[in-house]
Amino acid sequence: MAEIARLRAGREPDAPPTADAAGVGTARPDLLFTAADKTRTAMIVTDPNLPDNPIVYANRAFLDLSGYAAEELVGRNCRFLQGPGTDPAHVDRIREAVAQRRDVVVELLNYRRDGTAFVNELYVSPVFGPLGELLYFFGSQLDLTRFREQQAQAAGRGTSFRSLLEDGEAGFCIVEMRFDADGRAEDYRFVEVNGAFERQSGLTGAQGRWMRDMEPGHEQRWFDLYGEVARTGRGARFRGVASRLGRTFDVHAVRIGTEAQNRVAILFEDAAARLETEERREALDRDRQVERDLVWRTSRDLLVVCGLDGTCRAVNPAWSETLGWPPGSLLGTRITDLLHADDREAGSRAFATLRSGRPLVDLDVRFRTADGGHRWISWNAIPQGDRFHATGRDVTERRALEDQLRQSQKMEAVGQLTGGVAHDFNNLLTVIKSSTDLLKRPSLSEERRGRYVDAISDTVDRAARLTSQLLAFARRQTLQPAVFDAARSVSAIADMVRTLTGARIRVETDTDAGADEAGRRLPCHVDADPSQFDTALVNLVVNARDAMQGEGRLRIAVKRADSIPALRAHPAVPGDFVAVSVSDTGAGIDADLLERIFEPFFTTKGVGHGTGLGLSQVFGFAKQSGGDVAVDSVVGVGTTFTLFLPRSADGEAREPVPDDPGPLAEGHGTPVLVVEDNVEVGAFATQALGELGYHAVWVKDAQAALAEIEASGQRLEVVFSDVVMPGMNGVDLAREIRRRWPYLPVVLTSGYSHVLASEGTDGFPLLGKPYSVADLSRALRKALRERSALASG
């Protein structure tokens, strides 16, 4: 509400005002009307002693607001300014106040001369003579229309502003000033107050009330101060004493809205309470500083403040106690200079994390001690502006215990592995030893002799499979990868799977990976060893069959996948994969056993039912092929194993063509260079080749082989070399032979080689140990045949 001057005449004018040439109602010189004409508030005067209470005076501000000339106003009742939008209830309030000769404030819709509407805040006040007689009614009006848009724009800001003030400790209010005829502030009304207002001021129920009504003796200087802010727009900051309230306030006052609104926003606090709060805060800050100093001095953790470039700005005494560095010797030192050489890369990444504004959590690195040793420190740090604060804990002993635990677990695993290997190989060797002893008996029949020889041969094959499974688990087997469609491979062996599972297990396959935009079936090409893939699939099927005890439902599905999920404490791996899942409806696997099922020789089956190497082979094959194996199991419901293999971008499968073994052929004196460092194996190979009709020359290392080839004058036709030898290995020997004698074929042989496992054979044919005489003959014959084709081509 605009502040309205409550004008009171000292005496009754001799005659009512009349209109002058300018159209402004005048009377004989009278201070009452002279003051009203000078104010910026729109004002009219009506005479209640004349019929219909006509307008007898309108100041210039009202003429500007309404658009009417004075002669159009004087002598008419105010209701002609009203229109169809004017609320009758508001009009009734004015009439009731006039009849009762009292003040009234109401927002009223009026219409200008040009027909435009405006909302005005109308304040009607009676003016009495010295004897209490009613002389006039003064009406002051404030156009609110122009403030509506400003208020709407500020609504959002005001909401958050008021919310902030409601949550604050300081008192806040908005007041409207009221000025007397001389323009001096005589009172103010509280338009709005916040929650802290009553607590800070001691005034209750202030909103909407006048200060003079609440505190009649309130000091005039407060009105003068706020009035000056309202008139000039200059804010004020001061400390003032409100004697009537018994308080001293720190005040900040600013004008808000337009000049005509006469509104002032006041933010204030009880100075004594503020001082007490500040003293408490300072005392609390001192206590915290003492606490921080105490923690800094007594903490056994390493505390450091560093610049973002890693330069130490402050370190606590624990650095001396833990790492032996004298106090102050590390100031200006770069943290990276104290790191172990192997941990500097991790340190650089940590600084990059902090410089990006992110905290550092649990970084274990080795720090150099003053005596040249190193200790493990686990760091946590947070960035703050141009520096970071970090705390480090000595975890050297913990790391040592963890290493001991890991070593102990490793030895336990090795013990389990070697025990399983020893058990299975002793069984195999028992068969071989018994068969050889029986073969030595002089009266042995040919039928029984053949039986024992077959037993030895079968046992050797089982031993070879056992070794292959162990190498698969260790990811050391020599893979022979080829691009093939996993979905087609699953479909191809589906009938064999049904044979393995039996009639009481229903086998379902789902190899539909979807179709492309042209409607063609999407292939699931992988680049892996097809033979090992088939073996892994069979192992999973057999495992599922045994879990269902021969009855249930088994489902094999092949799909594409865009990631390998997080497995065994490893994060998820995004990429392009083919997922082959084998699901059963068996008994499920207990949660405490899930982490052990891929260990070699670990099995939940009874004695004599499985070696415990099937899942180990699946795991090793998947990892060595760049994939992984996931297992999801619910006890009493079933288990799903999912084999993930990287999908090949090659659009065409290249299925390996099996070599036709053919009959065992004679060597016809073909010269062969045998390179083998093991005496027993070298002698056996030479003897076997002699039995096959080859002319074998045996050397024990690569250098001797190169010398023999050089001296032979191209007499040798094929080289049969072991891979693992002292000095130059077999693969490097084969490369050198290919470089110097391109038409001399080389066949490699090995039981295991880390070179083959990591690098492959570089295109040279490989005969795995143990090999049969027939396998040896076929490998050499194929190499010689390819050499002839190459020479003739």
Mean pLDDT, residues 24-53 taken together: 66
pLDDT digits (tens, 9 = 90+) for 94-146: 888 888 888 888 888 888 888 888 787 788 888 887 787 888 887 877 777 66
Q: Of 179-193, 450-464, 595-609, where does mean pLDDT reach its minimum?
A: 595-609
Interior CA angle at 631 toward 629 and 636, to 5°?
A: 160
- Per-residue tokens: 49: 């002693």
Report the mean per-residue pLDDT for the chain: 77
Residue 28's pLDDT band (cuts 50, 70, 90): very low
Residue 607's pLDDT band (cuts 50, 70, 90): very low
For the cut 50, the answer to whether the pLDDT of residue 12 exceeds it is no
- Per-residue tokens: 472: 């698969």
For the cut 60, the answer to whether the pLDDT of residue 615 exceeds it is yes
For the cut 50, the answer to whether the pLDDT of residue 563 exceeds it is yes
Helix axes 614-624, 530-547, angle to 10 degrees: 140
Going 735 to 739 to 741 to 743, the CA torsion angle's sign is: positive
Q: Strand 263-270 vs strand 374-384: parallel, antiparallel, or unpaired?
A: unpaired
> What dihedral do alpha carbons 58, 61, 65, 68 form, nearest 10°?
40
Top-ranked range on mean pLDDT: pick from 20-24, 329-333, 504-508, 640-644? 640-644
Give the percent of the chain with pLDDT over 90.
9
d(CA 463, CA 102): 117
pLDDT of 661 reads 47
pLDDT of 27 reads 37
d(CA 174, CA 158): 12
Residue 16's pLDDT band (cuts 50, 70, 90): very low
Q: Of 141-155, 311-325, 347-361, 365-379, where does mean pLDDT reach its minimum?
A: 141-155
Residue 209's pLDDT band (cuts 50, 70, 90): very high
pLDDT of 9 reads 31
d(CA 751, CA 468): 9
Higher-confidence residue: 786 or 390?
390
Top-ranked range on mean pLDDT: pick from 245-249, 417-421, 773-777? 773-777
- Long-range contact set of residues 119-125: C-beta below 8 Å, sequence gap at least 24: 119/143, 119/144, 119/145, 119/148, 120/42, 120/65, 120/144, 121/1, 121/2, 122/94, 123/1, 123/2, 123/4, 124/94, 124/97, 124/98, 125/4, 125/6, 125/7
Domains along the sequence of the chain with CATH: 18-143 (3.30.450.20), 147-275 (3.30.450.20), 299-394 (3.30.450.20), 406-464 (1.10.287), 482-646 (3.30.565.10), 671-792 (3.40.50.2300)
Q: Of 111-115, 340-344, 588-592, where does mean pLDDT reach its minimum?
A: 588-592
pLDDT of 21 reads 32
For the cut 90, the answer to whether the pLDDT of residue 466 exceeds it is no
pLDDT of 176 reads 93
Mean pLDDT, residues 683-710 taken together: 88
Mean pLDDT, residues 237-249 taken together: 76
Q: Of 157-161, 178-182, 216-220, 288-292, where does mean pLDDT reach its minimum?
A: 157-161
Residue 651's pLDDT band (cuts 50, 70, 90): low
Residue 665's pLDDT band (cuts 50, 70, 90): low
pLDDT of 4 reads 29
Higher-confidence residue: 479 or 750?
750
For the cut 60, the answer to whether the pLDDT of residue 5 exceeds it is no
User: What backbone torsions phi and psi does residue 526 show, to the nearest 5 degrees?
Assistant: -130, 155
Model's pTM, two decimal places? 0.37
- Long-range contact set of residues 407-410: C-beta below 8 Å, sequence gap at least 24: none
For the cut 80, the answer to whether the pLDDT of residue 700 exceeds it is yes
Are 721 and 733 in contact by the 8 Å Cβ rule? The answer is yes
pLDDT of 189 reads 93
For the cut 70, the answer to whether the pLDDT of residue 207 exceeds it is yes
Higher-confidence residue: 2 or 671?
671
Q: Of 197-211, 235-249, 541-555, where does mean pLDDT reach its minimum?
A: 235-249
For the cut 60, the answer to whether the pLDDT of residue 472 exceeds it is no
Mean pLDDT, residues 676-691 taken together: 84
CA count, 13 A, side-chain hemisphere, 211? 26
Mean pLDDT, residues 500-518 taken together: 77
Q: Looking at residue 687, what DSSP letter applies?
A: H
pLDDT of 132 reads 78
pLDDT of 691 reads 82
Residue 19's pLDDT band (cuts 50, 70, 90): very low
Residue 177's pLDDT band (cuts 50, 70, 90): very high
pLDDT of 18 reads 40
For the cut 80, the answer to whether the pLDDT of residue 526 exceeds it is yes
pLDDT of 597 reads 78
